[in-house]
Amino acid sequence: MEWFDSKKMTIRPNTATQYEQTIKTHLDTNIGQVRLCDLNLEMIDQFYSELQKKGTSVRTIRLVHSVLHVTLEGAARYNLIARNPAHGATVPRQEEKEMMALDEEQVSRFLAAASGNRLHVLFHLAVETGMRQGELFGLKWSDISLDKGHINVRRQVQRRTGEGFIFSEPKTRSGRRKIEIGPYTIDMLRHQRILQEDLRTKAKSAWQEYDLVFTSAVGTLLDQQNVLREFQSVLQVAGLPRIRFHDLRHTAASLLRNNGQGVIAVSKLLGHSNPSVTVNIDAHVYNETMDEVARTMDRLVSPIAITLPENKPAETLTKPEGAKLHQIAPVFRA
8 Å CB contact between 138 and 155? yes
Q: Which of 283, 248, 257 is nearest to 106 (CA)?
A: 248
Would you say residue 206 has pLDDT above 80? yes
CA quadruple 232, 268, 19, 82: dihedral sign = positive
pLDDT of residue 334: 46
The predicted model gives 267-271 an average pLDDT of: 87
Structure confidence at residue 325 (pLDDT): 45
pLDDT in tens, 69-86: 988 888 888 888 889 999
Q: Helix, strand, coil proportions of the chain in percent (round to 5)?
A: 55, 10, 40
Write down the pLDDT at residue 264. Answer: 86
Check residue 136 and give left, alpha or beta (phi > 0: left; psi -120 to 50: alpha). Answer: alpha
pLDDT at 162 over 60: yes
CB 309, CB 320: distance < 8 Å = yes
Mean pLDDT throughout 90-101? 78
When pLDDT is averaged across residues 168-184 and rounded to a whole number, the result is: 88
pLDDT at 292 over 80: no
SS3 158: strand
85 C-beta neighbours (distance < 10 Å), count = 22
CA distance 125 to 75: 48
In this structure, of 19-28, 60-69, 140-149, the range with the lowest mean pLDDT score is 19-28
Q: Which residue has the higher pLDDT, 273 or 62?
A: 62
Burial of 274 (0-12, 13-18, 19+ CB in 10 A): exposed
End-to-end CA distance of the chain: give it in Å, rounded. Answer: 65
Domains, the chain, in order of start with CATH, read: 2-77 (1.10.150), 104-287 (1.10.443.10), 302-334 (no CATH)
Rounded to an integer, the average pLDDT of 204-221 is 96
For the chain, the average pLDDT equals: 83
**Local structure of residue 210 (DSSP, 8 states):** -
Cβ distance 39 to 76 under 8 Å?
no
What pLDDT does residue 178 have?
A: 94
Most confident of 158-162, 208-212, 317-321: 208-212
